[in-house]
Amino acid sequence: MIFTLKSGRTVYANNGIIGLGEPVSGFEVTEGYDGIITWPPYNDPPEPDDLTADDMREIADMMIDRWTRFRASLPDST
Q: What is the pLDDT of residue 8?
A: 96
Query: Cβ of 41: how many Cβ atoms within 10 Å?
Result: 13
Domain coordinates of the chain in residue numbers?
A: 2-73
pLDDT tens track for 14-27:
999 999 988 777 78
Backbone angles phi and psi of 11, in degrees to 5: -135, 125
Q: What is the pLDDT of residue 26?
A: 78
In this structure, which amino acid lies at residue 4? T
Backbone angles phi and psi of 12, in degrees to 5: -90, 135
pLDDT tens track for 4-53:
999 999 999 999 999 998 877 778 899 998 899 988 888 888 899 999 99
Q: What is the pLDDT of residue 27?
A: 86
Query: Cβ of 11: how many Cβ atoms within 10 Å?
Result: 19
pTM of the model: 0.87
CA-CA distance, 64 to 57, in Å (whole number)?
10
